[in-house]
Amino acid sequence: MLTQLREIVEKVNQADSLEAAMAVLVVQIRDVMQVDCCSVYLVHDALNYFTLAATDGLAQGAVGNIHIEFNEGVVGLVGQKEEPINLADAQVHPRFKYLAEVQEDDYRAFLGAPIIHQRKVLGVLVVQQRCAREFDKNEESFLVTLAAQLANVIAHSQSKGFLAAPNRNKKNIRSIKGIAGSSGIAIAKAQVITPQVTLEMIQTEHTEDVTAELSRFKSALAKSTDEIKALAIRLKGQLPSEALAIFDVYLHMLAEASLSGEIKAQIKQGYRATTAVKLVAERYVAQFSAMSDPYLRERATDTKDVCQRLINHLIGLEPPSLLADELILVAEEVTATMLANVPKEKLKGIVSVKGSANSHAAILARALGIPALMGMALPIEKLSHSLLILDGYSGELYVSPEQAVLLEYQGLLAEEKQLDSIMRDCLEAPAVTKDGVKIEMLLNAGLSADTEIAINEFADGVGLYRTEVPFMLTESFPTELEQSERYRGILQTYAAKPVTMRTLDVGGDKQLPYFPIIEENPFLGWRGIRLTLDHPEIFLVQIKAMLRASIGLNNLQIMLPMISGITEVDDAVRLIHQAWSEINEQARMQGQHLRKPKLGVMLEVPSALYILPQLAKRVDFWSVGSNDLTQYLLAVDRNNPQVADIFDSFHPAVLQALQHIITQAKQHQVSVSLCGELAGDPLGAVILMAMGYTKLSMNTYNIARIKFVIRHVAIAELQAILAQAYELDSGKAVRQLFAQYLEQKGLGGLVRAGK
Ligand code: PEP
Ligand code: MG
């Protein structure tokens, strides 16, 4: 049965349209189950009725021509009840609806299974038999299992199929959903970029003339290197240095010790230069793609990008010309250099079939403030020169939209521009509420593109510097010197303001290529402080690097991630003291004094919330990691799209936890901030302020808009709403309540942007 199931799903998957897939499906099922008739009914997305999508056994003329409401017929009942219905004789069932055009008079036995994707009924799968009999348990479970497996396939191909017949129904306003890689709205024509010769197209060819091939490769390498350097120089004024580091990664890849050396070795073995590039690229791409860390997996794209560039130069291909004055760049895989090639004034948005929010293209897009959608399952050739609306908040893409949708988005775009300029204006103003409460605005830094130099002066310091990325960019643990140079840069950038550096938080979904951790449950495993305490040699080197970087600046604060017990803090304190004594001694010999940095812990593991008094005695500050706290409190993997709806930092339990922390912080007089995503969300920020949080740490993009919100609200008013919020049963209701308040304050546009 398993084999049959798999075969059917595979065949359906191979079909090139939804219609063809459904036609294959019904024939297959009828054959495998040996029934007299099989049909599939799909729900019309906007109008919410079932239509016959395919049948093997009913009248073909009825396909696409009958409508069944959810409250009609036995098919409607399956959809309504969201469960299988097995009837020996459907014709005597009170809900049986006679439709002459389907010609089902001969059929009596009926088995229907709902096709449900993410709680939404997409359709009903039905098998029928002439004789009156109940279907047996095996038949029922086969159909139910098949319907569950098909739900994904149908949901996916519905979004693809939509493009094949746009505007089929004028009343039906539909969009395609992807991953919002960078927020904002863009309206422009699509410029689809498809490489003329891809790596996959390169044939394996050998050469007799190794010297000539080596010299061809050298020249292509020089051109590619120059191009990447030129791109970095061109973007220098527009991008923060952390984002520009992406181009360093590319240059690093082209270096002798990396790709180039290996490509040359292949040429020396007798391969033509193009083949050598392909072989090396394939190997690297396979290695990166197999990694479980999403950041590192994305490096497969970078490898392809760099190698594609080499191929283009080896073959002598011209870069594509960009026709329109304003365009949305669309490609199978938008890469960082593809993006950098388009002048910023032309580039309005990005749509990429492959990639995620971790892709370098998405990171660059965020740094440039350009809306981007990633992971869009669509046949991009069909988009060429079509007008697109890209909604980088909701992740939706509209192709050749109707006038009404266009008008609505044009209005939103104008509003967004206006709001943006108002928010920019208020960047310099103090973050003080209408009733005079000052909020400290701190930055989350360290993730490639998140440190915008221009914003430094408007933030009160760094609330979270994630140190993982420097560790991910090297091929072995970085040395104390390498680390301290990097840390010094950041401490200097924010000199005279506190900079909170978090010790290494790898494990979970963050892996180091040179230190693989293989575990069944990585988020519950060897992560953060657990790992570094087991390796004091790694921990001490990092602490010493931080301390050394702080000599003469003294603005360092150290923070420990994933604390779940007191002994972890005690052990870490001992090691930090040991490192400090050593570095301070060296500093003293140079006539300098190294102040002992303040020490803090992240509150992100629920157990920490029950030992707050003990923690208060041991550390100077707490910082709430609301991302992990939500994940662990609600037992929901923060990276699993299947349960993304359950991950909710507004859940009443999370709110109670946050309230408990701030109450305890006041009682024990410990400074507390919040550095999870919640602080940068307008609704999250106002809830936190209502609770009494006065230190919020967020990425650069959010600083302006949260400052804007702060300046428009009054804590006393927020507290009254919070009291009502505590009575509510769901995160959704809490959000709605605070959203109403923000709307009254004229901040409705921001709430939309925040969700
Ligand atoms: C958090 O968990 O909220 C947090 C800020 O840390 P990270 O997202 O790096 O795990
Ligand atoms: Mg965390």
We report the CATH number of the domain holding residue 265 as 1.10.274.10
For residue 530, being part of any structural domain is answered with yes
Q: Is the CB of 682 under 6 A from ligand 1?
A: no
> pLDDT at residue 642 above 80?
no
Mind spelling out the 3-state secondary structure of 35-51?
CCEEEEEEECCCCCCEE
CA of 648 from ligand 2 middle (Å) equals 15
Which amino acid appears at position 244 of this protein? L
Distance 562 CA to ligand 2 centre (A): 7
Nearest atom in ligand 1 to the alpha carbon of residue 466 is 9
Q: Identify the CA nearest to 466 among candidates 534, 542, 383.
A: 542
**Are 137 and 242 within one domain?**
no
- With a CB cutoff of 8 Å and minimum separation 6, the contacts of 108 are 88, 89, 90, 91, 128, 129, 130, 131, 132
The preferred substitution site among 443, 448, 466 for testing ligand 1, maximizing ligand atoms within 8 Å of CB, is 466
pLDDT reported for residue 451: 42
pLDDT at 452 over 70: no
Domain final residue, candidates 383, 401, 419: 401
How close are the terminal C-alpha atoms of the chain, in Å?
43
Q: At residue 15, does pLDDT exceed 90?
A: no
Per-residue pLDDT, 170: 35
Q: What pLDDT shows up at residue 473?
A: 67
Question: So what's the pLDDT on residue 163?
Answer: 44
For 101-127, what is the mean pLDDT? 93
Task: Check whether residue 9 and residue 119 sit in a common domain.
Answer: yes
Q: Quick one: pLDDT at residue 308?
A: 85
What pLDDT, on a 0 to 100 scale, did the predictor assign at position 169?
39
Ligand 1 closest atom vs CA 631: 2
Q: Single out the residue in 347, 381, 401 at which a domain terminates.
A: 401
Ligand 1 lined by 293 (C-beta under 6 Å)? no
Give the highest mean pLDDT range of 172-176, 242-246, 555-559: 555-559
> 750 in a domain, yes or no?
no
Q: Which residues surround ligand 2, an ion (CB under 5 A)?
A: 604, 625, 628
User: Which atom of ligand 1 lies at the shortest distance from residue 676's CA?
Assistant: 3
pLDDT digits (tens, 9 = 90+) for 468-507: 877 876 778 999 999 999 899 889 988 889 999 999 999 8
Residue type, 195: P
| pLDDT for residue 96 | 94
Q: How far is the CA of 349 from the centre of ligand 2 (A)?
A: 30
Which run of H or of E encompasses 352? strand 347-352
Q: What CATH number did the domain enclosing 628 receive?
A: 3.20.20.60
Token output for 408: 């609505």
Beta strands in 532-611 (DSSP E): 556-560, 598-603
How far apart are alpha carbons 281 and 343 in whole angstroms?
28
Please give the share of the chain, as a percent, with pLDDT higher than 90: 54
Predicted confidence band of residue 155 (pLDDT cuts 50, 70, 90): confident
* Domain at 19, CATH number: 3.30.450.40
Instruction: Say yes or no: CB of residue 466 within 6 Å of ligand 1.
Output: yes
Say yes or no to pLDDT of 754 above 50.
Answer: no
One-letter amino acid at 672 equals: V
Q: Which of 401, 417, 437 is the last residue of a domain?
A: 401
- Asked if residue 637 has its Cβ within 6 Å of ligand 1, the reply is no
Q: Which residue has the higher pLDDT, 442 or 342?
A: 442
pLDDT in tens, 181-231: 888 899 999 999 887 778 888 889 999 999 999 999 999 999 888 888 887
Question: Is the predicted pLDDT of residue 363 greater than 50, yes or no?
Answer: yes
Q: Which atom of ligand 1 lies nearest, measured to the CA of 604?
A: 2
As given in the structure block, the two tokens for residue 112 are: 């229907």
Average pLDDT over residues 431-438: 97
**How far, in Å, is the centroid of ligand 2 from the Cα of 528?**
9
Structural domain harbouring 345: 321-401
Within a domain: residue 718?
no
pLDDT band of residue 238 (cuts 50, 70, 90) is: low
Instruction: Determine, yes or no, domain membership for 648.
Output: yes
For this structure, is 675 an active site residue?
yes
Do 114 and 215 belong together in one domain?
no
Catalytic annotation on 117? no
Beta-carbon contacts of 470 under 8 Å, excluding residues fewer than 6 positions away, are 478, 482, 483, 486
- For ligand 1, whether the C-beta of 628 sits within 6 Å is yes
pLDDT given for residue 448 in this prediction: 43
Which pLDDT score is estimated for 358? 64
**254, containing H or E segment:** helix 241-254
The closest-lying atom of ligand 1 relative to the alpha carbon of residue 624 is: 3
The tally of domains found in the chain comes to 4
CA-proximal residue: ligand 1, atom 9 (nearest) = 466
The token duo for 582 is 């050593």
Any idea which residue has 């029934």 for tokens? 35
Residues 6+ away with beta carbon under 8 Å from 584? 547, 593, 594, 596
646 and 538 part of one domain: yes
- Rounded to the nearest whole angstrom, what is the distance from the C-alpha of residue 500 to the centroid of ligand 1? 13
Distance CA 355, CA 357 (A): 7
Is the Cβ–Cβ distance between 45 and 172 less than 8 Å?
A: yes
* Whether the CB of 680 sits within 6 Å of ligand 1: no
Q: Which residues contact 281 (CB under 8 A, 6 or more apart)?
A: 199, 259, 303, 304, 307
SS3 174: coil
Tell me, what's the pLDDT at 19?
A: 83
Each residue's pLDDT tens digit, 255-280: 877 888 899 999 999 999 999 999 99
Q: Which of 313, 360, 426, 651 is catalytic?
A: 360
Query: Do both 549 and 631 map to the same domain?
Result: yes
Within-domain flag for 745? no
